[in-house]
Amino acid sequence: MKYNIEQFSPINGKLLIKPFRQRTRTVETIELDHEKNKDKDPMKDEMETKKVKSKAPYEMQLGEVIATGHPEYPKGSVIVYSVKFVKEFDLFKNTLLLNSHDVMGKYTM
């Protein structure tokens, strides 16, 4: 059975959002260099490190409200939210469920 997103209306205080592409940043961390430290004793010898660059997602993301249970965030508005507080909503593909008090603010394009 296929559900229609237009027929879904969340309870008061909940928002169904479609997240935009996840933004990432480059983070530089320091790790042990296992190749150079292969024969060293960590208790006696000084261990060598190396800098490693990796991609990490931002804590705040943008998303579009596609169903609302809160009058302050109408359908179609773009919001800023923390990725910590969202729940995947598997009834509709690529959607997230969020409490309205976890919204950080509106974003105007």
Write down the pLDDT at residue 39.
84
pTM: 0.76
* Interatomic CA distance for residues 7 and 1, integer angstroms: 14
* Interatomic CA distance for residues 36 and 100, integer angstroms: 51
Closest CA to 65 of 9, 7, 15, 13: 15
Domain map of the chain by residue range? 5-23+59-107, 24-57
* 81 C-beta neighbours (distance < 10 Å), count: 24
pLDDT tens, residue by residue, 54-91: 999 999 999 999 999 999 999 999 999 999 999 999 99
pLDDT tens, residue by residue, 16-47: 999 999 999 999 999 988 888 888 888 888 88
Beta bridge partners of 24: 57
* 98 C-beta neighbours (distance < 10 Å), count: 24
CATH of domain 5-23+59-107: 2.30.33.40
Three-state secondary structure call for residue 100: helix
Three-state secondary structure call for residue 70: coil
Angle at alpha carbon of residue 104, lines to 55 and 58, rounded to 5°: 0
